[in-house]
Amino acid sequence: MPAGPQKHGGASVETDHRIEVFLGQLLRAGVVLAALVVIVGGVMYLRHAATGPVPDYKVFHSQPVEMRSAPLAIEASAEFDPLAIIQVGLLLLIATPVARVVFSIVGFSMERDWMYVGFTIVVLTLLIFSIAGDPQKLFNR
């Protein structure tokens, strides 16, 4: 059997490549958006806190609950809390690879590659599992 890229369901290497390029642009757009939100929050934070003390990073105390949960962070950012806005930016950043995985599912579906649609759904499920809830809490009943 000759070596070479295998064709599957009528798709070709070119389709693969177009999907890849799109995914790359999607990722870049996500990072740019997330960075802008983080910059906005950062500037707001520094304007208030500029000459004040540095938070104590030497001792670990877990973040306040608004910083740890996505819905609460979004709510707090609506009140223009700078730290919550930064946190929303970070959430957008974490969501960027997730979006890429979602679009990979679309891409494989377009190529009718159901095996890889399956694999990608597994990855998406794992991502949602980790981002939506702390697995610790699920396991320590």
Partner 1 sequence: MREVGDSSAHYLCVKSSGRCAQLNAIEFTVVVALGSFLGGLLGALTGLGGGVIVVPLLTLAFGVDIRYAIGASLVSVIATSSGAAAAYLREGYSNMRVGMFLEMATTVGAISGAMLAEHLPTSTIAIVFGVVLLYSAWNSSRERDELPTAQPPDKIATFLRMDSDYPTREGRIAYHVRRVPLGFALMYVAGVISGLLGIGSGSIKVLAMDQAMKLPFKVSTTTSNFMIGVTAAASAGIYLHRGYIDPTLAMPVMLGVLGGALLGARILPGAKVKTLRLVFGVVIAAVAVEMMYQGIRGHM
- The verdict on 140 binding partner 1 (CB under 8 A) reads no
Q: Which of residues 60-89 bind partner 1 (CB under 8 A)?
A: 60-64, 67-69, 83-84, 86-87
Q: Which two tokens stand for residue 38?
A: 């983080």
CB-based contacts of 110: which residues, under 8 Å, 6+ apart? 11, 15, 19
Each residue of 10-38: b (16+ CB within 10 Å) or e?
A: ebeeeebeebeeebeebeeebeeebeebb
Residue 54 or 79 having the CB closest to partner 1: 54
Q: Which of residues 13-32 bind partner 1 (CB under 8 A)?
A: 13, 16-17, 19-21, 23-25, 27-28, 30-32
Task: Tell me, by CB under 8 A, how many residues bind partner 1.
Answer: 79
Q: Which two tokens stand for residue 50?
A: 């500029």
- The verdict on 45 binding partner 1 (CB under 8 A) reads yes
Contacting residue, 10, 51, 71, 79, with partner 1 by CB under 8 A: 51
- The verdict on 103 binding partner 1 (CB under 8 A) reads no
Least distance (Å) from partner 1 to the CB of residue 14? 10
CB atoms within 10 A of CB 72: 15
CA distance 67 to 81: 11
